[in-house]
Amino acid sequence: MIAVPISGWAVAWFELRRILVFLVAPALVGFAVAVLYPIGQRMAAQHRRFVLVTVCGAIGPAAMLFGWTLVVRTQWTAVPYGLGYGLGIACLSRVHKLRFWPPGMITRSQAARR
C-alpha cells in the first residue's frame, strides 16, 4: 500500500468547501427565494414600469430554479434549502413595512385597503 502525505490544511479546506456548497448555499438560496417572490409581487402591485415588474417578477422563479439545481445534487441539500426557505418566510412574517426607491412605504394596513 502506498501512503501519500496530505496536508491537514488541504483536508480542512476540502471539508469547509463541502459544507459551504452542500449546506450553506442551499440555505441562502432558499432564504433568497422566500424573500424575492413577495418583492416581485409588491412591484407589480405598485404599477411600476413593465420592464421593472418583469425583471423583479423573474428573479424569484430564477432563484427557485437555481435552488432546485442545488437541491438535486444529494439528498442532504433539500433539508438546508427547506430550512432557508422557512427562515425567509418566518422573517418576512415580521416585516410590517417595505421601502422601495423612490421612497414609498407599504404597510399592512395600506395593503389591506388596496
Residue 86 has a pLDDT of 92
Residue 75 has a pLDDT of 81
> Which residue ranges of the chain lie beneath pLDDT 50?
none
**Whole-structure pTM value:** 0.70
Residue 48 has a pLDDT of 78
Q: By the 8 A CB rule, do 81 and 71 touch?
A: yes
Phi, psi (degrees; rounded to nearest 5) at 74? -140, 170
Please choose, from the candidates 21, 36, 34, 33, the residue with its C-alpha nearest in 3D space to the C-alpha of residue 77.
21
